[in-house]
Amino acid sequence: MRMHTKRIAEMIEKKRDAFIKVSDQIWAFAETRFEEYQSAELLAQTLEGEGFKVEFGVGGIKTAFIGSFGSGNPVVAILGEFDALSGMSQKKGQTKEEPLVAGANGHGCGHNLLGTASLAAAIAVKEYMEENNMKGTVRYYGCPGEEGGSGKAFMARAGLFDDVDFALCWHPMGYNSIMSTDSLANYQIYFKFKGKSAHAAASPHLGRSALDAVELMNVGVNYLREHIIPEARVHYAITNSGGLSPNVVQPKAEVLYLIRAPKVDQVQEIYERVCKIAQGAALMTETEVEIVFDKACSNLVQNKLLEEVMYKNFQELGVPMHDEAELQLAKEIRATLSKQELATSEKQSSDMPAPDMVTWLNPYDGSKIPLNGSTDVGDVSWITPTAQCTTACYVNGSTLHSWQWVSLGATSMAHKGMLHAGKVMASTAIDMLKNPKLIEQAKAELKQRLGGQTYVCPIPEGVMPSAKK
């Protein structure tokens, strides 16, 4: 193991208890998009205690912040997330679904781990730079609202990544890898229908049902699905059904749509067609429709050079290993997964049965793997070279946004994966900071991949972050 990789690992291990405490506190806060006040404050206070200068409320978002150390170039951005999911409360370390508080929030995507590993990485890079009198700037980006909010896209629109030389991130998963993936761009939009109330029996002819409009819109979009590209996804949730009285013609109703496709221009095309369907539904029901753009994010742009540097560091550091108690918990949690869940997500390294915890690093060859999901890291990747990794924090075969993930998110197996990700990111950052030529090569690759395109934020000007869920 090279000296700087070993030293980074030592730095993070020295403060492991402090990092674990931060992660578990954020797990307990479980705050959803753009309402992560306690989580953001805790991370910011930790950074300030380590000598970072913190600016809060960046990009016009109350819970977004940047912690900076150093000056001048190169500038490395280490991206942190800390938002939870609504309705996913779950007791920790349990082998059955059991909410901590019924209906409350929970960290079903591991962002308590994500934000804390990035915190550990930023602090370790700062300490290494001080020890070795290195020039440059390390920044921790506190990025709120990844779940349904696209916080980084709003931050990108504000120009907060424009002077960054490269960016690093990660995600807790059930396996160890470099995230050499494509992701889906998306738009999220509210369609708010307004009609006229009336007595549903005595005078239904006087009413104009907003709920009918919502239902007709959903039917229309279902017919549209046959006529869009197969890689696209269109989801919806009725967020206001108009009330609880069937004897009233519902005067107001609302539906929230999430449209995904591999490229932003493909999402835009589908969005325009969905808007026409909404307008048609309004015409059919003689109601009015208000279209409110909520958020959007871009697809990921791969950077093979930066990924290769990250992979080299991951190989040197090895992978997280687990003790007997952790493996027993993993075995019990894995027993709760259905055959379909396992078929979707489990990993194997040979013809032997799949293990309860993955104990290897997936080989990296630079080829892109389709990711049928979205991430606002995509917007950062259009602006500056970006690479991500995953570490095994959860049992093999478990899936994102599940009670199993919430249960394991504050256990020792998750902590090990979290700290390991911090080491991988920090040692990668030092490799790049020490070699400006690598940074220039990564920038040249990004320019080549974009083929003359420049980043345009998919969120229109005037649209501001909303805590609505």
Q: Give the pair of three-digit tokens for residue 158.
A: 């504000």
Q: In the predicted model, what is the mean pLDDT of residues 324-339?
A: 96
Q: In the predicted model, what is the mean pLDDT of residues 202-207?
A: 97
Rounded to a whole number of angstroms, the CA Rg of the chain reads 23
Domain 185-296 CATH assignment equals 3.40.470.10: no
Helix (H, G, I), strand (E, B) or coil at 49: helix
Q: List CB contacts of 457: < 8 A, sequence separation 6 or more.
A: 153, 156, 157, 296, 298, 379
Per-residue HEC secondary structure of 80-103 comes to ECCCCECCCCCCCCCCCCCCCCCC
Q: Kindly tell me if the per-residue pLDDT of 469 is higher than 60.
A: no
Determine how many CB atoms are found less than 10 A away from the CB of residue 375: 25
Q: Report the distance separating Cα 423 and Cα 417, nearest Å.
A: 10
Q: Are 19 and 112 in contact (CB under 8 A)?
A: no
Q: Sorting pLDDT into bands at 50, 70 and 90, what band is 178?
A: very high
pLDDT at 318: 97
Q: For residue 137, what are the β-bridge partners? A: 70, 75
Q: In the predicted model, what is the mean pLDDT of residues 74-80?
A: 98
Q: Sorting pLDDT into bands at 50, 70 and 90, what band is 453?
A: very high
pLDDT at 10: 98
DSSP string, 290-318: EEEEEEEEPPP---HHHHHHHHHHHHHH-
Return the percentage of the chain with pLDDT > 90, whole number.
Answer: 94
pLDDT at 349: 81
Q: Are 358 and 396 in contact (CB under 8 A)?
A: yes
CATH superfamily of 3-183+299-450: Zn peptidases (3.40.630.10)
pLDDT at 372: 79
Residue ranges covered by each domain of the chain: 3-183+299-450, 185-296
Q: Are 245 and 181 in contact (CB under 8 A)?
A: no
Q: Sorting pLDDT into bands at 50, 70 and 90, what band is 186?
A: very high
Q: Report the distance separating Cα 325 and Cα 266, nearest Å.
A: 48
Q: Report the distance separating Cα 260 and Cα 237, nearest Å.
A: 15
Q: Are 170 and 421 in contact (CB under 8 A)?
A: yes
Q: Kindly tell me if the per-residue pLDDT of 331 is higher than 70.
A: yes
Query: Could you give the C-alpha distances from 453 to 163, 378, 383, 407, 440, in angstroms and in order?
Result: 18, 15, 11, 43, 18
Q: Kindly tell me if the per-residue pLDDT of 77 is higher than 90.
A: yes
Q: Are 152 and 380 in contact (CB under 8 A)?
A: yes
Helix (H, G, I), strand (E, B) or coil at 386: strand
Helix (H, G, I), strand (E, B) or coil at 467: coil
pLDDT at 164: 98
Q: Sorting pLDDT into bands at 50, 70 and 90, what band is 374?
A: very high
Q: List CB contacts of 384: < 8 A, sequence separation 6 or more.
A: 77, 161, 164, 165, 166, 167, 443, 446
Q: Kindly tell me if the per-residue pLDDT of 363 is higher than 80.
A: yes
Q: Kindly tell me if the per-residue pLDDT of 154 is higher than 70.
A: yes
Q: Sorting pLDDT into bands at 50, 70 and 90, what band is 468?
A: low
Q: In the predicted model, what is the mean pLDDT of residues 254-281?
A: 97
Condensed to tens digits (0 to 9), the pLDDT of residues 340-362 reads 999 888 888 877 789 999 999 99
Condensed to tens digits (0 to 9), the pLDDT of residues 333-342 reads 999 999 999 9
pLDDT at 350: 76
Q: In the predicted model, what is the mean pLDDT of residues 48-60?
A: 97
Q: Kindly tell me if the per-residue pLDDT of 406 is higher than 60.
A: yes
Mean residue pLDDT of the chain comes to 96
Judged by average pLDDT, the poorest of 5-9, 366-370, 389-393 is 366-370
Return the percentage of the chain with pLDDT > 70, whole number.
Answer: 100
Condensed to tens digits (0 to 9), the pLDDT of residues 86-118 reads 999 999 999 999 999 999 999 999 999 999 999
pTM over 0.75: yes
Q: In the predicted model, what is the mean pLDDT of residues 292-319?
A: 97
